[in-house]
Amino acid sequence: MFNSTNYTKCWLNYKAIDAEKVRECFANVILMSADRVAITAAEEYCEHMGAMLDAKIEYSTDIEYEPAVCLQVEEDDDCDALTNQSFYIEKNEDSYAIVGKSGYALLQGVYAFLRMVYLGDLEKIDGQRYEFTPSMPLRIVNHWDDMDGSIERGYSGRSFFYDNYEMFYNDRVEYYAKLMASIGINAIVINNVNVHQNETYLITDRYLEIVRKYSDLFGKYGMKLFLSVNFAAPMELGNLEVSDPLDSDVCKWWEKAIAHVYEVIPEFGGFLVKADSEGRPGPFTYGRTHADGANMLARELKKYGGLVIWRCFVYNCGQDWRDTKTDRARAAYDHFMELDGTFDDNVILQIKNGPMDFQVREPVSPMFGGLKKTNMMLEVQIAQEYTGQQIDLCYLIPMWKEILEFDTFAEGEGSTVEKIVSGKAYGNKYCGMAGVINTGDDENWTGNELAAANLYGYGRLAMDPSLSAEDIAREWIRFSISKEDDIVDDVAKLLGGSWATYEKYNAPLGIGWMVTPHYHYGPDIDGYEYDRWGTYHRADLHGIGVDRTDSGTGYVNQYNEPWRNIYADRDRCPEELILFFHHLPYTYELKTGKTVIQYIYDTHFEGVEEVREMIGVWKNLEGRIDRRIYDNVLERFERQLNNAIEWRDRVNTYFYRKCGIDDAKNRKIFR
């Protein structure tokens, strides 16, 4: 049975603030709206401000009560639910006004105000109106929870939604909704994209009543509930012979099923679909396109304001390793580019940040620079599948910042991924970010206490990509660990350097996948080298890397200029990606003057030493932070050190045996 009652407050663990920072009006709050989410906003204000004031406070509807903090909704009839997320905060003499274009916008304004008060940032609104509109219209978390209680790629315990094919509603689920709303999430997919037999029934009366309770809970915080659906549901649930999206009986089956879902759950958000990928059923079986499949569902969902989020993780997972022309990296672009402009306007293509699969380093997917007439959403993985599994520390916000700031040159210079998935580039209404979440029923929600920074940071970054990775880290530390400046400095240093450290002992120069098959933790250099998944490093006695230029797979041609020529030219290609695009001799000299093989040796030794340094920094915090947090992270660091040593020794030995070239620094490499 999962842990439903014993959990931490994470970043909502507000504590009493210094008396001199307390203003008389903070304890007086007036609500000027009866909107359901506005009431939640008032309740959240009272709970968290009460913790800061160390007093019980309640909201009032008496508008004559001054000085006060006034909560108000100013609806705009011309805006829909996805565009009326703007709010402003202003000070009027001794009072403050928090005003949102909707109840949800007001709630986000309240969370912003609470952060300002707790972090001492109220100068943002002294003498001026603070106005804010979230960058990403949709900010979604995807759960990969299965109904048996397991979580695919879960590293924080078991599901707190399901166990033994039952679905539960409890105080932990209620607190989870509060956590998600507090960082700006506005949509939640509650089941795995790989929809198995029992999960297929989530859209039926077997589960719809309890799914409705989740939807009502999320709706209280202004968030929409989505379900992953099985494309073959008409066959598995309706006893039809096909699930062909152009078959009239299939269309009628979905029409009836969707109508019933909305009859039970009027606020239902829509479907997430993984089709024709890794064994999942899809329209390819019937000679149909992904647009045929997505649009069939979209037409029915549109009647109720619902969306189809269609994953683009589609590739040949039965590849022959002897085939050097077929390239998994090409697959999504090859499948979807010809369909640009053919998807209905309530379909969103969910595109992974890179062309492979959430590696510690890979180029930005060329689809963001290719598609121009289709709604797009950036998918990232908060769960650390290939980045340490919440054992090894790997703060992911710097990676996501690089992705969002990547210039695709789709419409000339300045066409960044952020502009595309925020709707600024093409004026799309349905777009945003999706994150595969890293929560489970562990007491601290994320296994490693420090891994919560990735979840917090995902929400904050999707709301405001202008925030720096360091600012987000420091904000999270002050909420979750300590407000002491020297402690904040030390933990921010650990977080800030952790991605680079992990990359050093995991993925040299853009080569990934040297991991234990299926489990994806720990080194196995040839684990995926002779398999069907298309995940090769092509190392031989002469060199390493995959040729993706015109002489190889031609993948570089999926990018706009100047990237096409930059990536194709090994002298201009960014060195952190050079082995992703080129097969190079071990003796190839990098810009630093190091050879490829020496770079591999050096970074793997450096990575281990940097982990040791991280442990030293953490040990200096003993007795100065919560013991539970200290012990949890120290235990993870000790496991990370063992992991880094194993990576160093296996990788260095493997490549020494391949090339026979000695380490220039004569360090211990096992022969």
307-311 and 270-273 as β-strands: parallel, antiparallel, unpaired? parallel
Do 101 and 395 touch, CB atoms closer than 8 A?
no
- Is residue 263 exposed (0-12), middle (13-18) or buried (19+ Cβ within 10 Å)? exposed
**Beta carbons within 8 Å of 297's beta carbon, 6+ residues apart:** 229, 245, 254, 258, 271, 273, 308
Cβ atoms of residues 327 and 583 within 8 Å: no
Query: What span, in angstroms and rounded, lies between the C-alpha atoms of 567 and 550?
Result: 11
| Interaxial angle between packed helices 290-302 and 248-264, expressed in degrees from 0 to 180 and rounded to the nearest 10 | 40
H helical segments located in 20-153 = 36-53, 103-119
Whole-angstrom distance, CA of residue 465 vs CA of residue 462: 6
Note if 131 is an active site residue: no
DSSP states of 490-528: HHHHHHHHHHHHHHHHH-GGG----B-TTT--SB-TTTT
Is residue 187 within 8 Å of 140, Cβ to Cβ? yes
Closest CA to 346 of 229, 416, 431, 450: 431
Report yes or no: 192 and 238 within 8 Å, Cβ to Cβ.
no
User: Which one of the listed residues 385, 418, 490, 503 is annotated catalytic?
Assistant: 385
Catalytic pick from 44, 357, 441, 449? 357
Q: Is 18 designated active site?
A: no
Integer-rounded Cα radius of gyration of the chain: 25
Count other Cβ atoms within 10 Å, centred on residue 236. Answer: 16
Q: How far apart are CA 526 and CA 651, in angstroms?
A: 10
User: Which residue, among 408, 393, 305, has the nearest Cα to 351 in the 3D structure?
Assistant: 408
Q: Which residues pair with residue 188 across a beta bridge?
A: 141, 225
Task: Report which DSSP code applies to 556.
Answer: G
Distance, CA of 287 to CA of 293 (rounded, Å)? 11
Distance CA 361, CA 577 (A): 7
Which residues share a beta bridge with 271? 227, 308
Nearest-CA neighbor of 244 among 227, 232, 260? 232
Cα distance between residue 539 and residue 442, in whole Å: 40
Catalytic residue of the set 278, 485, 489, 631: 278
To the nearest 10 degrees (0 to 180), the angle between helices 596-619 and 485-506 is: 150
* Rounded distance between C-alpha atoms, residue 191 and residue 210, angstroms: 14
* 512-521, long-range: CB < 8 A, 24+ apart: 512/356, 512/359, 512/360, 512/361, 512/362, 512/386, 513/356, 513/359, 513/537, 514/651, 515/386, 520/153, 520/385, 520/386, 520/389, 521/388, 521/389, 521/391, 521/643
**C-alpha closest to that of 587 among 552, 542, 546:** 542
Residue 278 annotated in active site: yes
- Active site members: 278, 357, 385
